[in-house]
Amino acid sequence: MIASAAAAPTAEEAAAARGRLAAMMERGGALAWGVADADAFDEAPEGFRPGDLLPGARRVVVVGGSPPRAADWASPVHEHLETMGTSDRINSLGLKTAKFIEAEFGYYALFVPPGVRRGNRPFLSVALAAELAGCGSRSLAGPVLHPEYGLLFYSAIITTYPFPVTPPLAEPACPAPACVEMWEAEGETPCTRVCPLGDGGCLDGRIEDGRLVERRYDAARCTSRVYTHWIPGFQKGLELALDQDDAEARKMVLYSSHFTKTLWSMTYAAQSQGQCWECMRVCPVGAEFRDKA
C-alpha cells in the first residue's frame, strides 16, 4: 500500500531510508547517486518539472553509472561505440530503484523514462536532476561530469518520499585544473581544441578565474555527427527508402550495412549511442578511469 502524507517519516527515519536506498543502488552497480529537491527545478519549463509528472513529488533520486568501459574507449574501430551502448544498464537500475522505494517505504516512485515526451523534449531533464543532486556539474563540452568518473549515464526517479537532499557540488568538475592551465597558456581547452566552433566544430567558451563563465555550442552541427546511426539514423534511412519509387532501390537502402547497423545500435541503447564523443575522449575529468594497461 502507498503511504499517505499523514505517515510522514521522521528526519531520522528518512536518513536511514536514504542509507538503505544508497546501499541498494551501489550493490546494483551505481557509481554515483544523489537526491534533489523536487521544488528546485525552476529552470525547467513548466510541464516538465517533477510535480508535473507525479503529483505531490518531493524528491528526485538520481543514480549514475554504466559508462563505456576503458576498452570501449581504446578500440580504434569506430563502429564499435557506434553500434553498442551501455546506457540501458542505468535504466534497469533506475526501474529497480523505483520498485525498491515503493516496496520498502510505501511511497510513490516514478521512473523517468528515456526518450522524448513533447516537442522533442525529455520528460524531465535528467542532466539538471544530476547536477542538482550533486552527482556532477555541466561541462564546456556538454555532459554532466562526475569529478572522479567523468562521463556517466544517469537515471532519475521522482518520489513522494522525503529523503534528505544531497547538495550540488561545491566545486564544479569542469574546467579541470589541466584545462585551466591550458586555457591560460593557449586560450583553448582539450575539448575546444578537438572540436573548435570557429573551425568546423561545435565548442567554444571562456574561463575566468578558473571558472567556466561562457559556453557556446553548435547543437545542430553536433547532432549531425552524433546521430548518424541509432534512432535518427533509422528515421533518415526509412525516409530515404520511402522516397524510392523503384523496389530494387528501396531494397538497397533497407538491406544496406548502414541501415542494418542502425537497427543493431537501436537494440543496444534506449538512451544514447556513442557516435562521436571526441570531446570526452580528450577530457581530463575521468581520464584515469578510462585508462587501463
- Please, which residue, 61 or 226, has the CB nearer to ligand SF4? 226
Q: Which of residues 194-223 bind ligand SF4 (CB under 6 A)?
A: 194-195, 201-203, 222
What whole-number distance in Å separates Cα of residue 214 and Cα of residue 97? 36
Q: Pick from 54, 191, 204, 273: which binds ligand SF4 (CB under 6 A)?
A: 191
Residues recorded for the chain: 293
The answer to the question of residue 50 lying near ligand SF4 (CB under 6 A) is no
Q: Degrees (nearest 5) of the Cα angle 115, 120, 121?
A: 75
Could you tell me the three cell numbers for 232? Answer: 535518427
> Nearest approach, Cβ of 65 to ligand SF4 (angstroms)?
19
Beta bridge partners of 153: 65
- Please, which residue, 220 or 247, has the CB nearer to ligand SF4? 220
The answer to the question of residue 152 lying near ligand SF4 (CB under 6 A) is no
Sole residue written with cell 575566468: 208
The answer to the question of residue 91 lying near ligand SF4 (CB under 6 A) is no
With beta carbons less than 8 A apart as the criterion, state whether 9 and 17 touch.
Answer: yes
The answer to the question of residue 73 lying near ligand SF4 (CB under 6 A) is no
| Distance separating the N- and C-terminal Cα atoms of the chain | 51
Q: Which of 111, 110, 65 is nearest to 89 (CA)?
A: 65
> Nearest approach, Cβ of 36 to ligand SF4 (angstroms)?
22
Beta strand extents in 160-220 (DSSP E only): 203-208, 211-217
Q: Pick from 80, 89, 117, 225: which binds ligand SF4 (CB under 6 A)?
A: 225
Q: Which of residues 250-289 bind ligand SF4 (CB under 6 A)?
A: 276-279, 283-285
Q: Pick from 174, 204, 229, 265: which binds ligand SF4 (CB under 6 A)?
A: 174
Sole residue written with cell 563540452: 141
- Please, which residue, 39 or 214, has the CB nearer to ligand SF4? 214
What whole-number distance in Å separates Cα of residue 136 and Cα of residue 66? 15
Sole residue written with cell 516512485: 109
Q: Pick from 140, 152, 156, 157: which binds ligand SF4 (CB under 6 A)?
A: 140
The answer to the question of residue 139 lying near ligand SF4 (CB under 6 A) is yes
Stretch near ligand SF4 under the rule CB under 6 A, chosen from 34-42, 117-125, 139-147, 259-267: 139-147
The answer to the question of residue 112 lying near ligand SF4 (CB under 6 A) is no
Beta strand extents in 129-288 (DSSP E only): 137-138, 144-146, 150-151, 153-159, 203-208, 211-217
Q: Is 83 helix (H, G, I), strand (E, B) or coil?
A: helix
The answer to the question of residue 151 lying near ligand SF4 (CB under 6 A) is no
Chain residues that interact with ligand SF4, rule: CB under 6 A? 139-141, 174-176, 179, 189-191, 194-195, 201-203, 222, 225-226, 276-279, 283-285
